Amino acid sequence: MLTLPRYLHSLEQFHSVRTPQELTQLLSSVGQALGYDSIVQGLQSYSRQGGLHVDSTSVISDKWHSHYLKKNYYKVDPRVHHCARHTTPQRWSSADLYDHPRAAQMMQEAHDFGVRAGIYAPTHSMDGRFSLLCLSLRHVPVAEAQDLVLHTAPLIPALAAHAHEAVLRILRADAEQEPVLTRRECECLQWAAAGKTSWEIGLVLNIAERTVNFHLSNAMAKLGCHSRQHAIVKALMQGLVGL
């Protein structure tokens, strides 16, 4: 059980976080101690025209979140749009009903993935960007999940604020040593982030599949990554591509 002194000590540890891996590990540790089994930290911006953009994301391995991003559900998620304009956390459960057809489909698919309830906690910056810390529970009765969310909700804003400061610090440090990718490398990564295969990217950009693989390999090397998925996540974290 996470006592208040231990929780406060955990928050202090965010001040020494320097890498995405350290942030992910610390968020995972604190989230699990609170009783959650999935955590996602996203840095986003909301334009005056109403467009929502994901600037970076730090993900604890999560099949539902990968599916969520692939479907672009953040664009129709009422919880995200609420948090873009408010500072208060948003509790939710898979029993919530939404009028928008895609939002309703999103909640049904979340339930199919085993997601039962959770909380979205925003933290806003002066530059218009905001961090969204999302914690959720899976494969437990909805009522039980809602009860845990209710009891831990007062602790979440402080966790979100400390994680927000950590991710901004990481991004600033990365910007100072940001690798230079070519326009074509960025384009290939951008389409790969959208879920396209090398063959499909080749069709979109009117280049050969082997050329796509060449550009993606170069991008992976520059980013210090050993897999395409890792390169996509790192490029998102550094703002080199968007979703």
Q: What is the pLDDT along the chain (243 residues), one digit of tens a residue?
A: 688 899 999 999 999 998 888 888 899 899 999 999 888 888 776 544 445 555 556 555 578 888 888 888 988 999 988 888 899 999 999 888 888 999 999 999 999 999 999 999 999 987 777 889 999 999 899 999 999 999 999 999 999 999 999 888 887 776 656 667 899 999 999 999 998 999 999 999 999 999 999 999 999 988 888 888 888 888 887 778 876
What integer pLDDT is reported at residue 174 of this predicted model? 61
> Is 152 among the domain residues?
yes
CA distance 42 to 236: 10
Domain count of the chain?
A: 2
For residues 57 and 12, state if they share a domain: yes
- Please check whether residue 104 is in contact with residue 79, taking contact to mean a CB–CB distance below 8 angstroms: no
For residues 144 and 185, state if they share a domain: no
Can you give the residue range of the structural domain that contains 187? 179-237
Whole-structure pTM value: 0.69
What integer pLDDT is reported at residue 222 of this predicted model? 87
For residues 97 and 210, state if they share a domain: no
Can you read off the two tokens belonging to residue 56?
A: 């970076």
For residues 38 and 142, state if they share a domain: yes
For residues 9 and 109, state if they share a domain: yes
Q: Domain boundary at 157, 175, 193, which?
A: 175
- Name 92's Cβ contacts closer than 8 Å, sequence gap at least 6: 79, 117, 118, 119, 120
Task: Please count the other Cβ atoms lying within 10 Å of the Cβ belonging to residue 42.
Answer: 23
> Is 73 among the domain residues?
yes
CA distance 75 to 166: 25
For residues 186 and 157, state if they share a domain: no
> Is 242 among the domain residues?
no
What integer pLDDT is reported at residue 49 of this predicted model? 43
- Rounded to a whole number of angstroms, the CA Rg of the chain reads 18
For residues 130 and 165, state if they share a domain: yes
For residues 105 and 193, state if they share a domain: no
For residues 57 and 159, state if they share a domain: yes
For residues 21 and 69, state if they share a domain: yes
For residues 98 and 170, state if they share a domain: yes
**Residue written as tokens 């437990």?**
140
- Name 163's Cβ contacts closer than 8 Å, sequence gap at least 6: 14, 23, 27, 41, 123, 131, 133
Can you read off the two tokens belonging to residue 225?
A: 């990554």
CA distance 81 to 75: 8
- Please check whether residue 117 is in contact with residue 110, taking contact to mean a CB–CB distance below 8 angstroms: no
- Name 214's Cβ contacts closer than 8 Å, sequence gap at least 6: none
CATH code, domain carrying 38? 3.30.450.80
For residues 41 and 153, state if they share a domain: yes
